[in-house]
Structure 1
């Protein structure tokens, strides 16, 4: 059945938001919202959980602190920390939850839930009640969005996460919607294969990322991912959140002489890009933005950088612009003395990216999955 024959009910009705949230009672914890002052202990708990669960990364102080910078978030309402009341624990942080709904969502509105419980306190029902709180808050955020489009509540888990976590999500009504593969390719060392050369044609030119090109990158990203499931446009503020961003390893492909008339006439050209073209702003045809987290080197057992977002504008697909950007990434990683290039890919990516990465020597190291409740 199509949306035309079965129109969506109003978002307020579909979200079924509770008037008030139920604070967990399991574990006899005291609960309150997170503050910026909690960042060090919050980070310590999150990373302890990750190490115990053998997740392939840890988080940084910058990543947690950045949560308090997004003006669209209300951390007083969107976060919850649970502290021990046992005298011997000296008020230690035991559990946490945070919910986020990004402002750029247009064709679908999403609320993301995150959380965890100290491994020593699992089995007490804390995680189940904390997830129920998170789902309730997610429903409130979706209802408050007023966006009459499809909606979903989202969470993620590593494939190798404890089975209890996967069961927790399933029992709460989440279903697996997407699978992701973490891919790595050796770029430095005696076993490394040569990095292929990619020649750009016409007026396309490879260039390092620079601040004056950042808005053009955002517009290119929104265009490139417009047809990717669960991807939504990034606002300038969302795009500015970049803990771990490595500008010296990132690059873009510019079109120095774009066919402005043809682009403006194309129905695929979005209004923001059209305005930038009329203003004579640079046009980024493709981009490869990189994250670098040295704290993860010990976890993985090797040094690496991550091509975090890679894409090509729809009008430039088939011209190898994204491939040129990716191979440029690989060279900068090798030149920087890093051992591996890493990226994450949706196994159902419509652009055929998975096969492209495999042809470049990327192989799967770990996997994760996206769970959602569709509304």
Structure 2
């Protein structure tokens, strides 16, 4: 909540965010990304999902910070064990990052989280230094991979017994099951269907034509979900998942190359996707011709949860 006892720097005030703030938060995030990465990379769908999930309380999990002119210059969000923080480039070095970090930890404790983690671009040494000085330690490395397509990508034949077709209405629940089952091996919290759908198949940028599915005996066993961001000259692969009992057969490679070819026919000459240490998939992407464009580090910190007033009760440890 924005009314947590956080000492904001002089001249700044805070309030909770609402779904009506999507455009303003997106502009702030885009300004931060242009400063650090040279281009805005987060779509407005992602911000809308952050501020409007049906099983979330935006007024409790987010905070906006405005300057004395009323301009949005910082924001923070806590959900489960993950937090996101952005400070406008023109307002860095004034203590806003530290205040937002303090807010996120206080809110995390209120929510009962025993740990918080945050992803920071490796091109942002100031943010990394702030987290390290606050007791955060590196957890995993994330990589943005890209493939250039000067000619139409070749697509291998599907493995024996596998059929491939594009995503179509009615595939949502099966795709959710396959992707979340696969991601359960490393993700901290399984998404609800509503949250997953808002981030993928219900988003305005979801591209079903570039989202091929693999089937074995009529059952979905492999999924690639892609996005076509308006104004971007690149295709983006959002999810890659293969059911555990069908891995190492080349299904993921076939689906990815199929997605690349579709984007090529749509005029895209580059495709990108994110992966990280825990997925163990970096070598797969490199074998199909993708290279690392940039990296981020996820930092993590254990939180000491607040004791109820009066401390432990008699008979409690």
TM class by shorter-chain length?
A: 0.7 to 0.9
Q: Does 1:255 align with 2:213?
A: no
Instruction: Decide whether aligned partners of structure 1 residues 232 and 41 sit closer, same or farther in structure 2, where only a CA change above 3 A counts.
Output: closer
Q: Deviations over 1:215-267 (max 9, x none)?
A: 1111111222232x33543321121113332222101101235xxxxxxxxxx
Aligned to 2:197: 240
Specify the alignment match of 1:262 in structure 2: none
In structure 2, what is the equivalent of residue 158 of structure 1? 121
Q: In the alignment, what sits opposite 2:77? A: 98
After TM superposition, the runs of 4+ consecutive aligned structure 1 residues lying more than 4 A away are none
Is 2:155–2:261's contact at 8 Å kept on the other side of the alignment?
Answer: no
* Cα deviations by residue, 1:43-98 (Å, 9 ceiling, x for unpaired): 2222112212235533333332333331221111111111122xxx3x21122111
Instruction: Check whether the contact 2:76–2:86 (CA below 8 A) recurs between aligned residues.
Output: yes
* TM, length-normalised to structure 1: 0.74
Q: Could you say which residue in structure 1 is the equivalent of 2:285?
A: 357
Which residue matches 2:164? 206
How far apart, CA to CA, are the structure 1 residues paired with 2:256 and 2:9?
Answer: 48
Please tell me whether residue 333 in structure 1 is matched to residue 263 in structure 2: yes
Gaps of 5+ in 2: 304-317
CA distance in 2, matches of 1:326, 1:61: 25
Supply the RMSD in Å over aligned alpha carbons: 2.2
1:193–1:231 Cα change, 3 Å? farther
Contact 1:218 1:234 in 2 (8 A): no
The within-5 A match list for 1:67-146 is 67-85=50-68, 89=69, 91-101=70-80, 111-143=81-113
Q: 1:224 to 1:36 in 2, by over 3 A?
A: closer
Q: 1:306 to 1:60 in 2, by over 3 A?
A: closer
The alignment of Structure 1 onto Structure 2 pairs a total of residues equal to 298
8 Å contact kept, 1:132–1:172: no
Alignment-derived partner of residue 169 in structure 1: 131
Alpha-carbon distance between aligned partners in 1 of 2:290 and 2:138, rounded to the nearest angstrom: 25
Q: Label 1:284 to 1:56 Cα distance change in 2 as closer, same or farther (>3 A).
A: farther
Does the aligned pair in 1 maintain the 2:22–2:51 contact within 8 Å? no
For residues 361 and 345 of structure 1, the distance between their equivalents in structure 2, rounded to whole angstroms, comes to 15
Q: 1:134 Cα deviation (Å)?
A: 0.8
Distance 1:64 1:142 in 2: 24
Residue matched to 1:197 = 156
SS of corresponding position for 1:53? helix
